[in-house]
Amino acid sequence: MSPVHRVVVISTPPVSMFNIAIPGMLFSKVEIDGAPGYETLFCTAEPGPVRTSSGLDVHIPHPLDVIDTADTVIIAGAGSREEPDPRILAALRRAAADGKRIASICTGAFALAEAGLLDGRAATTYWTYTGELGDRYPSVDLQKDVLFVQDGTVLTSSGYAAGIDLCLHIIRTDYGAAVANGVARLTLVAPVRPGGQTQFTDTPLPPERGASFACTRAWAMQHLDEPLTLTDLARNAGVSVRTLSRRFHAETGLSPLQWLLHQRIERARELLETTTLPMDRVARASGLGTADSMRQHIQRRLGLTPSAYRASFSRLTAAPVAAATV
């Protein structure tokens, strides 16, 4: 049995309750062969009651030295972006020197930047504060309009629900797409979204025919193995191709074809992890066409060939996907 991956979440007052709840909730849902996949600990410079940005106190039980035992360190966002505690900065620098994976949610990026861990790295934060982050730390390669970004062993996310996307990305990196998507289903959140998706979307006003293309997206998910076109999606939604393209991007932050490709790659990953289907059948079932086409897409997205990905993440104890859909 693989050792449990330890995640340590750092709180600095006034900490965001939502930011510390996200990793606590998501990582606790990961089970691998009936055993926990993660152990999540919460620490701060002064253990005990810590004020939150909501005005309540939460009890943070551990001191900063638990970071030395972590595999992944996450610093939560806080209501203050000024003068991070020097002890927290020292702990972050020590974790980086030890080669640990380090992440921030929302304004936690300011502490990483102050510690010098974002110098020359691509990073993001909540869109309201990207200008401030860029002005205060010009050596950061600021990505202003993304959900999250990974640069080597350092990850940063924008605000609020983007912390969910960041944690799901970490789970997917550690245990594969099937496990991450299973956690998303258990916690009733959206499946893993690509980090490059925009932080916020514009809602078209007034809506021409209803407020959402959710039904069309659900229909497309059931037909990923078919050669769907913009015309097919527009016909299902009952709108023109032009209206579909404009409103779909407004809702999801992606074009319809970008969204389709992302979902097809995710379907291929699940099939590679949970079945022994030959590569050409995985490619057809996921709508990626041929085995060669699937290889190009997966290697471009993941840096691994499909066979290498299967060797790394295969979970043959999971229930196989029905071959009837292939």
At 158-196, the pLDDT tens digits run 987 889 999 999 999 999 888 998 898 888 676 655 554
Q: Give the tokens for residue 263.
A: 């979902």
- List Cβ neighbours of 300 (8 Å cut-off, separation of 6 or more): none
How high is the pLDDT of residue 192?
57
Least confident of 3-12, 161-170, 300-309: 300-309
CB atoms within 10 A of CB 147: 25
pTM for this structure?
0.74
Q: How far is CA 325 from CA 206, 226, 260, 266, 271, in A?
A: 39, 11, 18, 16, 12
Which stretches of 147-233 are assigned E, i.e. beta strand?
A: 148-151, 154-157
pLDDT over threshold 60, residue 210: no
- Pick the most confident of 78-87, 209-218, 232-241, 317-326: 232-241
* In the predicted structure, residue 16 carries a pLDDT above the cut 60: yes
Residues 6 or more apart in contact with residue 292 via CB below 8 angstroms: none
**So what's the pLDDT on residue 214?**
85
Distance CA 312, CA 294 (A): 17
Residue indicated by tokens 């245990």: 175
> Which of 234-257 are b and which e, b meaning 16 or more Cβ less than 10 Å from the residue's Cβ?
bebbebeeeebbebbbebbbbebe
